[in-house]
Amino acid sequence: MLVAELRKLFEDLKKNEQSVLFLSEYDINVQIFIDSGKLLLTTPVYFGSNYIPGSVRNGIKKTPPFTKDRIMRTSLKVDEKHFRIFLQYLGAVEVFNSEKFVHLIEDFHYLAEEWRIYLDEHDKNDLVHIRSKK
């Protein structure tokens, strides 16, 4: 991540208490709640067509292997109206230097990518396989 991008992010957070980072093809929404001293990171990890399949819903109830040894505690939020699932991190605002903040974003990005793969695999369980007659 470039220093200029970090400066812009921190300037946005200072003015608006929120900003957006673009990593890969997904965005990470960053919000700071100054009154409560909290930092919120949010990114989409699942996009349903017109519904969220049962196997995906069951998948979010389980603890996947990639989260067991992670220090960062995240949660999933289901957006029923738009058939999406978001990964969220809510933590205390610390005195961040650019290195600590980049590490936090990298960990969050890693977990988001793993959740996307995990939920896509679960999504495949609801596909109907049709065999052709020969």
pLDDT, tens digit, for every residue of 114-125?
999 999 998 887
- Looking at residue 133, the DSSP 8-state letter turns out to be P
pTM: 0.80
Check: CB of residue 66 under 8 Å from CB of residue 118.
Answer: yes
In the chain, how many H helices and how many E strands?
3, 5
CA distance 1 to 64: 28
- Got the DSSP string for 40-78? EEEEEEEE-SSS--HHHHHHHHS--GGGTT-SS--EEEE
- Which residues are CB-neighbours of 48 under 8 A, at least 6 positions away? 56, 83, 84
Topology classification of domain 3-124: Yope Regulator; Chain: A, (3.30.1460)
**Closest by CA position to 109, among listed 31, 21, 39, 48:** 21
pLDDT in tens, 61-84: 988 888 877 778 899 999 999 999
What confidence tier does 96 reach under pLDDT thresholds 50, 70, 90? low
